[in-house]
Amino acid sequence: MSVKVMIPTPLRAYAGKRDSAEFSAATVGEALSGLTNQFRELRKHLYTEDGKLRAFVNVYLNDEDIRYLAKENTPTKDGDTISIIPSIAGGSFAR
């Protein structure tokens, strides 16, 4: 079963400038593992040193936040789309 992983613009520099990649995966975790195996530089941006998904990285399966499903164990099916949405902070405060 093939799932599509959408790569956000800030992380594309670590993924060969690709906006997406497709993997055969039964869970969200398997798809993310495939992504970080193919693009090793992405791993440090998505995961902590102890292998946990970073707190500021939000992952959605077909617009559903995986934190409210089974997290990385959330099952996937053929044609699903996984979106990685990093939290972005910053900007300026106009006075």
Burial classification of residue 57, based on how many CB atoms lie within 10 Å of its CB (0-12 exposed, 13-18 middle, 19 or more buried): middle
Structural contact between residues 11 and 86, judged by C-beta atoms closer than 8 angstroms: yes
Q: Is the pLDDT of residue 19 over 70?
A: yes
How do the domains of the chain map onto residue ranges? 2-86
pTM: 0.90
What pLDDT sits at residue 25? 98
Which of the following CATH numbers is that of domain 2-86: 3.10.20.30, 3.30.2130.10, 3.40.50.720, 3.30.365.10?
A: 3.10.20.30
Q: Is the pLDDT of residue 1 over 80?
A: no
What pLDDT sits at residue 88? 74
pLDDT (tens digit per residue) in 31-89 = 999 999 999 999 999 999 999 999 999 999 999 999 999 999 999 999 999 999 988 76
What pLDDT sits at residue 90? 61
Alpha-carbon distance of 74 to 29, in angstroms, equals 8
